[in-house]
Amino acid sequence: MIRRYDYGSPIFTHAIAIPQPVCTGDMPRFTVEKNGDAISFRVHMDEDDQIFGLGESVRGINKRGHRYRAWCSDDFSHTEDKASLYASHNLVLFSGKSGVFGLYVDDPGAVTFDLGYTRGDEAVITSENGNCSVYYIEADTLIGAVKEFRHIIGRSYLPPKWGLGYIQSRWGYTTEEDLREVAKNHRERHIPIDMLSMDIDYMEDFKDFTWDAKKFPDLKAMISDFKADNLRVVPIIDAGVKLCPGDPTYDEGVEKGYFVKKEDGSTFIGAVWPGKAVFPDFMRNDVRQWFGDKYHGMLEAGVEAFWNDMNEPAIFYSEEGLDDAYAKADELRGKNIGVYDYFDLKDAFTGMSNSMADYTRFYHDVDGQQVRHDKVHNLYGAMMTKAGAQGMKSFNPDKRHLLFSRASFIGAHRDGGVWQGDNFSWWSHILLNMRELAGMNMCGFLYTGADLGGFGQNTTEDLLQRWLQLGVFTPLMRNHAALGTRDQEIYRFSMQEDMKNILTVRYALLPYLYSEFMKCALTGSSMFRPLAFDYPQDPACLRIEDQLMLGGECMIAPVYEQNARGRNVYLPEDMLLVRFRSAEDYCLIPMEKGRHWIDLELNEMPLFIRKGCVIPMSRGGEWVGGVDFTDLTLLGWIDCASCYKLYNDDGFTTSPVLEEGLRTIRCKAEGGRADAAGEGLRLDAAKVIVG
Ligand code: GLC
């Protein structure tokens, strides 16, 4: 059951795809309190109540015990103290003695979620502007609550099948030679790969929709050579447009009045990579249309994928902010600066980036009304994604597009994927990556993943190796690193053979991963789920923070600690452990429900398959198009019979029909051996354990 309640004057956010009628009367369970402009929703919590949701955010899968703030933030330091990351995913679900219920707060401004932080027994959710539609959700189960919510927010974005391939990326591939070198090193060593990202280095002076002709003299030829080698490039597009008379994007935007303006009607200027920049008013449909059409130039050159960045929007400084900081410095120049002046001076410069002062300096045109940016801040990235998606769709309406973004708001899950931003090469960020998968799936973001190996700081080979072992399962699988950090491509390391072997597992599992992804996207369910969702009656499952259910048949439990040679795992039922070294080298170990220590050398990764289930595995390939989705080996542990619903399609159709893509694989045990059949499939059941 979902009920909508409106407060103040809600702004349309595009989050809800199926409009709900507005209810009058009191909201169940929550008390509603006005405090100035703000409006709060307060609920008492039992000692054992748990809270799930909030998509991309720090800390645990169970969000209880911290205060979060929905405020899309360009913050590369994803530490526990942070209240905000790049996304605003305003869904919380409570589960405990009194059942399953929750709220979705549809508000593009700041919303705080005090989840047992101020008082351990209370959750208080506050819309700071007090203009919001709040959706009260109640269901019998957490899975049911997510399903109902996902139904009203609409179908998740579907990437093309090749979007599930491995992406090698780096901020710092500055020339065509750099990219060709990376491609060659992968192909020569038979390291599977489908895409190469192009970071801001490819642009001419960091201008959107340009490329530096000195460094990339013939983009078209490069792309077509890559294509012949089954590789695609993924260029970045930034939200800020360089202030540059003579640049067509800038000139057109100025002429048509497409950039956000200050109260006095002058264009707002903020600095990002190109120095001074201006910001398209993505809240306007005509601006989205215009910006989206700008993608066509590169699409015409053969590009088929993009990533949208800096769209919180990130603003390093504005002219006003810089002036204030200089004024502070001038004021203190020559003085003996004491502690508080020192703090002020420091803050004047460090606080200049992404500042509230700047976010209140400019306005958007929302359906003819001038709305100050901070009131709709959290929508900016989502609306840029919408622009990109519209542009890609209009260029090629018959095929799915590949697009992922850094900032997001629910609603953007229909237009593209999301990567988890600028993490660090820290072991704790493997765990964060995994936990975020659970929350993001609840909010509809299925095509997601983190920078494998870590973006900031220098990675180590054991860290990359363990991270890849989680990345094998994330739909968006990208190794990306920051400028100036240590080389992070697989072939740079002495363990490259082991890393390559782990990647072969990804490509071998593609029929299963694609099938589960598509089934979840088309039915509005989650590909990754906390164990508490699937086993609500098992107390041991309720607080597991480092394992996730994957699809209908599997569970993952990655190793995320340095120098570990295994880990503790809780099996909620009998499961088959598949200990992979590569797609060809793995062992199958039937295990009983309960707690276990699992040995896992650095080159070994675990996958658990529920007893009674079988999953398909291909013979692998070095790119997605090279994987045969019909020649399959089954893995599993069954007593007598099992079946698997395999989904497959051409990989690009924009309106896939679930039933049309489903084929049933039937597996039967006879005389201690398993046998399998499925229409149009070659199946090998020799690896299915019987008994
Ligand atoms: C941002 C992005 C990062 C990218 C960098 C340069 O920090 O999050 O992925 O490499 O900008 O474009």
**What is the atom index within ligand 1 of the atom nearest the CA of 455?**
9
Tens digits of residue pLDDT in 318-372: 999 999 999 999 999 999 999 999 999 999 999 999 999 999 999 999 999 999 9
Alpha-carbon torsion (357, 410, 153, 260), positive or negative: positive
259 Cβ neighbours under 8 A, 6+ residues apart: 241, 253, 267, 268, 278, 279, 280, 281
Pocket of ligand 1 (CB under 6 A): 171, 199-200, 236, 309, 406, 421-422, 480
SS (H, E, C) 172-188: CCCCHHHHHHHHHHHHH
Pocket test residue of 76, 171, 418, 419 for ligand 1, highest count of atoms within 8 A of CB:
171
Do 348 and 328 meet the contact criterion of CB atoms below 8 Å apart? yes
Calculate how far, in angstroms, residue 479's C-alpha sits from the geometric centre of ligand 1. 13
pLDDT at residue 135, rounded to an integer: 98
| Ligand 1 centroid distance, CA of 461 (Å) | 22
Output the pLDDT for position 510.
Answer: 98
Per-residue pLDDT band for 281 (boundaries 50, 70, 90) equals very high
- Segment 44-91, tens digit of pLDDT: 999 999 999 999 999 999 999 999 999 999 999 999 999 999 999 999
Instruction: Return the ligand 1 atom nearest residue 170 CA.
Output: 10
DSSP calls for 38-88: EEEEEEE--TT-EEEE-SS-SS-SS-TTEEEEE---------TT-S--SEE
**Distances from the Cα of 525 to the Cα of 89, 134, 254, 536, 659, angstroms:** 17, 22, 43, 17, 16
* β partners of residue 596: 569
**How many alpha carbons lie under 13 Å from residue 675 in its C-beta half-sphere?**
4
CA of 422 to the centre of ligand 1 (A): 7
289: tokens are 């249309």
Report the pLDDT value the prediction gives residue 59, as an integer from 0 to 100. 97
CA end-to-end span of the chain = 42
Give kind and range of the element (H or E) at residue 300: helix 296-300
Q: How far is the centre of ligand 1, averaged over its atoms, from the C-alpha of 424 (Å)?
A: 12
Q: Residue 521 and residue 179: Cα distance in Å, rounded?
A: 33
Confidence of residue 552 (pLDDT cuts 50, 70, 90): very high
Across the strands, what pairs with 278? 241
| Separation between Cα atoms, residue 103 and residue 80, nearest integer Å | 24
SS3 40: strand
Question: 86 CA distance to ligand 1 centroid (A)?
Answer: 12
Please identify which residue in the block is written with the tokens 């960045």. Answer: 309
User: Which residues sit opposite 577 in a β-bridge?
Assistant: 589, 608
- Report helix, strand or coil for 238: strand
Mean predicted confidence (pLDDT) in 288-296: 98
Q: Kindly give the distance from the C-alpha atom of residue 352 to the centroid of ligand 1, in angstroms, as a whole number.
A: 19
The Å distance, Cα 200 to ligand 1 centre, comes to 8
The rounded distance, in Å, linking the Cα atoms of 103 and 113 is 11
Q: Ligand 1 mean position to 658 CA, how many Å? A: 36
Indicate which atom in ligand 1 lies nearest the CA of residue 307.
Answer: 9
> What are the backbone angles phi and psi of residue 363, rounded to the nearest 5°?
-130, 155
Side-chain-side CA neighbours of residue 526 (13 Å):
27
Give the mean pLDDT of 578-606. 98
Q: How far is the CA of 322 from the centre of ligand 1 (A)?
A: 23
* Helix or strand run (H / E) with residue 619: none
Average pLDDT over residues 395-399: 97
- From the CA of 421, give the closest atom in ligand 1: 8
Average pLDDT rounded to a whole number, residues 601-617: 98
Neighbours of 210 (CB within 10 A): 18
By alpha-carbon position, which residue is closest to atom 3 of ligand 1?
A: 422
Nearest to 615 by CA among 541, 515, 529: 515
Give the helix/strand (H/E) hosting 214: none
- Site to probe by mutation for ligand 1, drawn from 309, 310, 404, 488 as the one with most ligand atoms within 8 Å of Cβ, is 309
Q: What is the DSSP letter of 461?
A: H
43 Cα–ligand 1 center, Å: 39
* Nearest alpha carbon to residue 510 among 424, 594, 633: 633
Residues belonging to the chain: 691
Q: What's the gap in Å between 171 CA and the centre of ligand 1?
A: 7
Distance CA 531, CA 555 (A): 9
- Over residues 157-173, the pLDDT tens digits come to 999 999 999 999 999 99
Residue 405 sits at φ, ψ, to 5 deg, of -130, 165
The mean pLDDT value of the chain amounts to: 98
β-partners of residue 448 are: 418
Question: How many Å lie between the centroid of ligand 1 and the Cα of residue 503?
Answer: 24
Atom of ligand 1 nearest to the CA of 76: 7
Tell whether the torsion through CA atoms of 254, 256, 259 and 261 is positive or negative. Answer: positive
Which protein residue has the closest C-alpha to ligand 1 atom 5? 171
What residues contact 346, with CB distance under 8 A and at least 6 apart?
Answer: none
Predicted TM-score of the model (pTM):
0.98
Most ligand 1 atoms within 8 A of CB, residue of 170, 173, 202, 236 to mutate: 236
* Pairwise CA distance, residues 604 & 495, whole Å: 12
The rounded distance, in Å, linking the Cα atoms of 591 and 482 is 41
Q: How far is the CA of 309 from the centre of ligand 1 (A)?
A: 7
Atom of ligand 1 nearest to the CA of 482: 10
652 residue type, one letter: F
Phi and psi at 272, nearest 5°, equal -135, -150
What pLDDT, on a 0 to 100 scale, did the predictor assign at position 344? Answer: 94
Nearest atom of ligand 1 to the alpha carbon of 199: 12
Dihedral angle at the C-alpha atoms of 351, 355, 360, 361, nearest 10 degrees? 70
Ligand 1 atom at shortest distance from the alpha carbon of 406: 8
- State the closest ligand 1 atom to the C-alpha of 451, by its place in the atom list counted from 1: 9
Residue 343, CA distances (Å) to 112, 248, 348, 353 in order:
27, 43, 8, 16
DSSP track, 495-540: THHHHHHHHHHHHHHHHHHHHHHHHHHHHT--SEE-HHHH-TT-GG
Substitution candidate for ligand 1 out of 310, 404, 479 with most atoms within 8 A of CB: 310
Q: 505 and 583 in contact (C-beta within 8 Å)?
A: yes
Q: How far is CA 243 from CA 252, 276, 278, in A?
A: 12, 6, 6
* Separation of CA 95 and ligand 1 centre (Å): 37
> How far is the centre of ligand 1, averaged over its atoms, from the C-alpha of 308 (Å)?
10
CB 517 within 8 A of CB 475: yes
- What's at 541, amino acid-wise? C
Task: Give the span between the Cα atoms of 161 and 149, in whole angstroms.
Answer: 26
pLDDT on residue 210: 98
Tell how far the Cα of 383 is from the centroid of ligand 1, in angstroms.
19
pLDDT bucket at 534, cuts 50 / 70 / 90: very high
pLDDT in the model for residue 387:
98
* pLDDT score, position 277: 98
Token pair recorded at residue 555: 């569970």
254 burial (CB, 10 Å; 0-12 / 13-18 / 19+) is middle
User: Ligand 1 atom closest to Cα of 310?
Assistant: 1
Q: Which one of 422, 423, 451 would you pick to mutate in the ligand 1 pocket, going by the greatest count of ligand atoms within 8 A of its CB?
A: 422
